[in-house]
Structure 1
């Protein structure tokens, strides 16, 4: 399993899922942070870590230098889900150990105790078991609440206390047997309900003031007793609503509980604003991929728990599988942007991703970025002579024929060529033009541009191909990779990017021939380099002069495409 980094305690956590010798059942193990281990050593913790689709899985663990227990299944998917839930609960405990204690109102504590009632219901409502089991469970809880017994077993969610109860109360009238013990003799609230109370407080990230502990234990005990009554009725076949379930104030009313801000939720909020301001769907998809990888690495989706240490650990983990350039240009922009937006909009106090610094890799270039004349000619010949494969989508074959040629004579991005629609090839100012428009798909700049069609493309039959195509996209959706593979089969040099080298080539050709750089930038969709160049417009007429002057490739290539 991967290295897991700190919660807000800023200490490093390490956990694992392994198997004992001779066993197929995985074991959970987590090392307790050194700075808090002495305070937690010997503490017992209740874990309810089953998923909605899993059968109840409840464990009570004792904290030492580490926490270890069997995950109880050899089903990898279920084991991983239980591991994630256990890790989340224990990390919350570790956070709380250093948090400041707070006091709560009586109403807030009643609301919190309702989590106990709901937990019993979530675990047992569909399969409550035998009525007698709940009868004995309730008897022990009532006796503890009323101070009639000492050292009762913990109410640990599972009703398996028949032996203990019969030893204390016998097998006769249980109510009379409990009442036979004098009330108010013992303080057994901690023994009976302490684990349940801690489960609620850990779950809701509340470090309760010790002065409020006894009151809260009693409220948790009452909620446990109410849950036992309802589950006994369920076990007897009565599933009518329990009026007592309505006595608990909504958990959302507890001011001390901070709303959980998820990382994926922040992404959605960022996108709602970014989309309205013109950001592309491609950008969202890229950012979502980065956020999903971060959440998977963290093992949780809680934005408030992400620390700088977490982000540095994420960087280290990613650099084991991707290059520094991929991390810097792929993952980090999305994560930093989303978390930065959250800070700007008062969703987070700080951006932990700012801690990540990735030095740019030193680029070693051993050839030009653009296609050579020989490579361009080879691709041109391959496009001109391409024959549609059997069962190949005609629009995929068309993409292989035309997209590289369009990129060759416009310097556009291959993706821009591939999203052209029939209506995007039209006349403007006396010239045939490509309308590279965000309405057709993603444009990096978010701005349309009109680019004249080179005469050689017209001679090769481009306009006839467009006229003969149906309305809508000229090329098949998802053909980008197929075009890349097609070109790579012709130019096998891995040092040149098959779908981007045309942009570099056009810049080189333009410099060699002394073309106006501002006009070339407008053709390729590059921003003006100076404020002076940004004055005025670059017309279709000006661009046509440059396009028409671009030298033809492979003049003697056989035949037409059409």
Structure 2
């Protein structure tokens, strides 16, 4: 940004003016940023000078408001610590020592080596529910703890405290004030412990919750560590809920009986004698199925993905498969591979059919178990993920179990066989090809006919972006049917001359290159239309990646970055609609091949589709380049005139 001389806090980025102000040193650590900068939304200097004065006053007021807020929080915390510091430390210490007091009571618990994520979430929810029920009972009895256990001796005042003799009318007010202070300080301390990974203060709580269901959990397992973290988070939430009650607001929560019933139902059924629990309830705990010599599903998953990686499986595909399998594990738990049945597959299918896409981005759902999220989404009427996506998950698990049947004697059946949801539409209907009108709109856009600049590509001007990926990538997609990432990862040495024909070489020879399948490695002749538009000259001016201005996204793919621009491009030319994307170029290419008489098998070879059968095993399934050049020469997009883009000889 460029400072505007003579005007404090006024800067310019390009033609637009901005307000910029440094955060004062006394609040820099708590304010969350070192500098406040935002657009004044004007290109006029006089108007910017007027607006920056108003912005400066508002910013200084925000700084003062922040100072007052921080000061008030510090004062409240100091007062709370002075009031209840000793009882709180006893409360936290009590949680750490509970396990030593009830060893005998837990001797008959059924031992588990692991639990699913959804089961762990239920136990954390159980802890929060118990804390809120205890708090409710205490309030009903004048803030006197009625259940023995951690915290029962923590109250400084109760309704029958002898120190308040003669002041009975005020006893509850004293106790309420203490409850507020205790909830505030306990929450603060536990939040710090949660951030630091210190879970010792809730080990007793976690064991109590497990014992309530008649089970114990291996203290060396990853599941135990996860449970401690979840219970600690539940304790923090419980303190916030109690504080809400102190303000007259009732938090929403389920009863512990209901949660315990759901926990019992989630465990693998096996009749056992009922055991009394520490909460006084009678449950039928159900241990894991008898010990099997087969590896667990997670172990099989890792071997399956490792083998697939050796067959040129793209990292993105492997990551997606791992996520799908992990969702199944979250729902039903990690067991020996022979311990799964149709009921597990059916439960997964039912949950997926109710679960919305991008659950992790929804605040109301992301912290819920998979099953709870599906129920809540269905109750709220949220649209579920597409049938295609459901089938993709089910197909992934089918593939995993099919592989397991070939490699392990213990696996006799595939629980996911026949589970896929039937669709009325075919795969082609998932994406529309571009219409002739769409293509005319796109290739008459300012990017191709003249724009203001690379940055202002949608505004008409005199600049044609012949060195930009915005210009070339859609054209290459139109005349090759190649995938977006295949195009963006091309290097200068991937444009090769084979027997006098210039070709794209789709490969994965460099560290940042990858192909979807083995059949994706191929040669694609450069279409004559691209040569007329100047592709050879464009390549001659490059030395590394052809489209090196497109950076790799966090997922490791260049396509994830460019696809965002392409959506904006489609919108700018009024082509954007739900069933079109860059992938529509592949369908457009297929339609053109059919219309021009290109044989189906040659079309598949050009697009990197597997031919299937023995042709892929012998000779690599490759066509001679001369044959590909011959068929590519037939390709036309009828009615589309790109002569205005041609380079004048």
* Shorter-chain TM band: 0.5 to 0.7
Match of 2:527 in 1: 454
Residue from 345, 349, 364 that aligns with 2:407:
345
| Residues 509 and 15 of structure 1, relative CA distance in 2, 3 Å threshold | same
CA distance in 2, matches of 1:482, 1:77: 41
Correspondent of 1:538 among 602, 623, 627: 623
- Residues 1:301 and 2:334 are matched in the alignment: yes
Residues 25, 71 of structure 1: 8 Å contact kept: no
- Find the counterpart in structure 1 of residue 440 from structure 2: 377
Partner of 1:427: 497
Match of 1:327 in 2: 390
1:223 — aligned with what?
Answer: none
Tell me, yes or no, if structure 1 residue 269 matches structure 2 residue 303: yes
Q: Supply the distance in 1 between the matched residues of 2:429 and 2:309 (Cα, whole angstroms).
A: 40
The answer as to whether partners of 2:525 and 2:628 remain within 8 angstroms in 1 is yes
Contact 1:414–1:499, Cα closer than 8 Å, also in 2: yes
CA contact (8 A) 1:437 1:443 kept: yes
CA distance in 1, matches of 2:330, 2:390: 16
How far off its partner does 1:98 sit? 3.4
* C-alpha distance in 1 between matches for 2:418 and 2:608: 31
Unpaired runs of 5+ residues, structure 2, are: 1-112, 137-192, 216-229, 241-255, 279-284, 357-384, 458-464, 553-557
Match of 2:606 among 515, 519, 523: 523
TM-score under structure 1 length normalisation = 0.53
Distance 1:431 1:94, change over 3 A: closer
Return the match for 1:278 from 309, 312, 316.
312
* Residue 421 of structure 1, CA deviation: 1.5
- The corresponding residue for 1:314 is 348
Paired with 1:93 and 1:261, the residues of 2 have a C-alpha distance of 22
Give the 3 Å change call, closer, same or farther, for CA 421–337 of structure 1 in structure 2: same
Secondary structure of 1:371 counterpart: coil
SS of 1:354 mapped into structure 2: coil
Indicate the structure whose relative CO is greater, using CA pairs within 8 Å and at least 6 residues apart: 1
Deviation at 1:316, TM superposition (A): 1.1
Q: Quick one: structure 1 residues 537 and 436, their matched pair in 2 at CA, closer, same or farther if it must change by over 3 Å?
A: closer
Distance 1:362 1:206 in 2: 40
SS of corresponding position for 1:557: helix
Question: Is the 2:532–2:646 contact (alpha carbons within 8 Å) kept by the matching residues of 1?
Answer: no
Measure the CA separation in 1 of the matches of 2:600 and 2:214.
67
Name the counterpart of 2:539: 466
Residue 125 (structure 2) pairs with residue 55 (structure 1): no
Partner Cα separation in structure 2 for residue 76 and residue 399 of structure 1: 49
Considering only CA atoms, is the larger Rg found in Structure 1 or Structure 2?
Answer: 1
d(CA) in 1 for partners of 2:238, 2:606: 52
> How far did residue 335 of structure 1 move?
1.9
C-alpha change, 1:270 and 1:71, in structure 2 (3 Å) is closer
TM-aligned CA deviation for residue 480 of structure 1 = 4.2
- Pair 266,399 (structure 1): closer, same or farther in 2 beyond 3 Å: farther
Partner of 1:488: 570
Please give the alpha-carbon distance, in whole angstroms, between the structure 1 residues aligned to 2:429 and 2:407. Answer: 46
SS at match of 1:335: helix
2: CA distance, partners of 1:538 / 1:446? 15
Aligned residues of 2:489 and 2:545 also touching (Cα < 8 A): no
2:627 and 2:473 mapped to 1: Cα distance?
A: 24
CA contact (8 A) 1:26 1:71 kept: no
Shift of 1:483: 4.8
Counterpart residue number, 1:497:
580
Alignment RMSD: 5.2
CA–CA distance in 1 between the matches of 2:302 and 2:477? Answer: 34
Number of corresponding residues: 372
Give secondary structure in 2 for the equivalent of 1:435.
strand
Three-state SS of the structure 1 residue aligned to 2:349 is: helix
1:74 corresponds to which of 200, 214, 235: 235
Closer, same or farther in 2 for the Cα pair 1:25/1:268, shift >3 Å?
Answer: farther
Task: Indicate how the Cα distance of structure 1 residues 93 and 537 shifts in structure 2: closer, same or farther if over 3 A, else same.
Answer: closer
